[in-house]
């Protein structure tokens, strides 16, 4: 490098540093949509509410909302039910706007459930995200089921009729 090119290099570096100081960093910001604040607040409140399951899952069945206070531990199903209940009863969301979504595949060892709002926002307990869009939540996994929240009682009833012994004690009560 000759003397002239070294001076030009120093001048270019000094000009770059001056531009950075004057204009600030111009790193492009990704356009990641923010979830509605109400959804983030409900998700955070419910995630603090139940005692977290120490295993991959703790419940053989989906709990009813009135069973939640009696559970020893909550797994992803209980958190999803609690979030749906809070959104419908405390925030006026129509049940038609809410679905339970199931995903599976590595690295998950068991099927994971969360709550889907408006076919877009997933409220989770933090395993995949807290509140994020469905595509991000399911990235790299397979969506193995979607169920409108209003249909859950009927599905539970049908499963119990088909397999009377296997779901006999779905709720492990607190001692």
pLDDT tier, 161 (very low <50, low <70, confident <90, very high otherwise): confident
Q: Which domain holds residue 42?
A: 37-162
Please report, for the domain that includes residue 130, its CATH number.
3.10.620.30
Gap between the Cα atoms of 12 and 16, Å rounded: 6
- Assigned domain for 2 exists: no
Interval 30-49 mean pLDDT: 89
In a domain, 16, yes or no: no
> What does 44-66 look like in DSSP terms, one character per residue?
HHHHHHSPBPSSS---SSPPPGG
Classified as helix, coil or strand, 157 is: helix
Answer whether residue 174 is part of any domain: no
pLDDT digits (tens, 9 = 90+) for 75-87: 999 999 999 999 9
Say if 70 falls within a structural domain. yes
Question: What value, to the nearest 5°, has the Cα angle with vertex 132 and ends 63 and 38?
Answer: 75
Torsion over CA: 127, 129, 130, 135 (sign): negative
The count of structural domains within the chain is 1
Picking from 22-26, 55-59, 66-70, 162-166, which range would have the lowest pLDDT averaged per residue? Answer: 22-26
| In-domain check, residue 117 | yes
Note whether residue 152 is domain-resident: yes
pTM above 0.85, yes or no: no
- Tell me how far the alpha carbon of residue 42 is from its chain's centroid: 12
Residue 127 in any domain: the answer is yes
């Amino acid at each position: 490098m000759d003397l002239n090119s070294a001076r030009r290099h120093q001048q270019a570096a000094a000009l770059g540093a001056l531009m950075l100081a004057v204009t600030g960093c111009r790193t492009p910001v990704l356009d990641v949509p923010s979830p509605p604040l109400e959804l983030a607040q409900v998700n955070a409140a419910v995630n603090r509410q139940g005692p977290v399951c120490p295993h991959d899952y703790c419940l053989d069945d989906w709990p009813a909302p009135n069973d939640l206070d009696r559970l020893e531990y909550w797994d992803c199903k209980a958190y999803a039910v609690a979030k749906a209940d809070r959104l419908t009863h405390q925030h006026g969301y129509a049940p038609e706007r809410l679905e339970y979504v199931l995903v599976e595949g590595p690295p998950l060892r068991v099927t994971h459930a969360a709550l889907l709002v408006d076919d877009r926002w997933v409220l989770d307990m933090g395993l995949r995200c807290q509140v994020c869009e469905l595509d991000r939540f399911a990235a790299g996994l397979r969506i193995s089921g979607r169920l409108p929240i209003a249909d859950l009682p009927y599905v539970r009833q049908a499963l119990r009729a088909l397999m009377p012994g296997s779901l006999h004690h779905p709720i492990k009560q607190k001692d």
